[in-house]
Chain A
């Protein structure tokens, strides 16, 4: 296996994870039906996971999940920081 092939595959899986995690960070759970929201997210994530598994292999899935978790965390933290600064500047 060529080195460039490995790098492009890993970066590609991770980049899709970054985008997916960032999108999930914007999800606001519907208080009336949180289970539906959670199930929808799990369903959608499993479809993308299956696709990565189909095109690459299970090792790329780890990069996808890791990147998605990282992007989700960064996005949620950014929103929290913005909310806190807004509360301070606009009481």
Chain B
């Protein structure tokens, strides 16, 4: 078989590139709001092995292999970090992986909003309901 050799630095670079892509693929998949559609699959195909990947990594070289290893490390690394965080947290358990269920935040707990308005959701001590301040 006609093969091309790659330097160690190239292999590490391809692996790290794959790790970032893998981490991001899990992230995108985790925050999916609806059922998977054909367009989602096309996006994943483009991410995992699109034209850019084919251009970057020549055929019969180790680089695509290193990229694949990095992809799995990043992808499952994200999952393992999630498992550790859920196991350590008092507010989540294994059910979170199924339907996202979690405990209601306790009183005097502030949940900052991400709309750059400086508002925050605060648990009302008297009513126990969420207020926006």
The interface of chain A, by Cβ under 8 A from chain B, is 1-2, 4-5, 8-16, 18-20, 22-23, 26-28, 30, 36-37, 40-41, 43-44, 47-48, 51-52, 54-57, 79, 82-83, 85-86, 90
A57 to chain B minimum Cβ distance, whole angstroms, is 7
Neighbouring B residues of A2 by C-beta, 8 Å: 3, 5
**Out of B11, B36, B49, B67, which one reaches A48, CB within 8 Å?**
B49
Question: Is B41 engaged at the interface, CB distance under 8 Å to the other chain?
Answer: yes
Neighbouring B residues of A54 by C-beta, 8 Å: 54, 59
A72 to chain B minimum Cβ distance, whole angstroms, is 14
Q: Please determine whether B25 and A19 come into contact, CB atoms closer than 8 angstroms.
A: yes
Closest to A4 in B: B62
Closest to B62 in A: A8
Complex interface residues of chain B between 61 and 105 (CB less than 8 A to chain A): 62, 64-69, 71-73, 75-76, 94-95, 97-98
Question: Is B45 engaged at the interface, CB distance under 8 Å to the other chain?
Answer: yes
Complex interface residues of chain B between 33 and 58 (CB less than 8 A to chain A): 35-38, 41-42, 44-45, 48-49, 53-54, 57
Interface of A is mostly: helix
Q: Please determine whether A51 and B98 come into contact, CB atoms closer than 8 angstroms.
A: no
Given contact pairs A36-B38, A86-B98, enumerate 6 new A-B contacts (beta carbons under 8 Å): A9-B65, A16-B72, A47-B45, A55-B59, A56-B65, A82-B95
Task: With A1-B1, A19-B71, A82-B94 as known contacts, state yes or no: A12 contacts B45, CB within 8 Å.
Answer: no
- Of B37, B44, B48, most A-chain CB atoms within 10 Å: B48
Neighbouring A residues of B69 by C-beta, 8 Å: 8, 11-12, 15
Distance between Cα atoms of A27 and B37 in the complex (Å): 9
A87 to chain B minimum Cβ distance, whole angstroms, is 11
A3 to chain B minimum Cβ distance, whole angstroms, is 12
A60 to chain B minimum Cβ distance, whole angstroms, is 9
Task: With A12-B66, A85-B94 as known contacts, state yes or no: A48 contacts B48, CB within 8 Å.
Answer: yes
Question: Is B29 engaged at the interface, CB distance under 8 Å to the other chain?
Answer: yes
Question: Is B107 engaged at the interface, CB distance under 8 Å to the other chain?
Answer: no
Neighbouring A residues of B129 by C-beta, 8 Å: none
Q: Please determine whether B29 and A23 come into contact, CB atoms closer than 8 angstroms.
A: yes
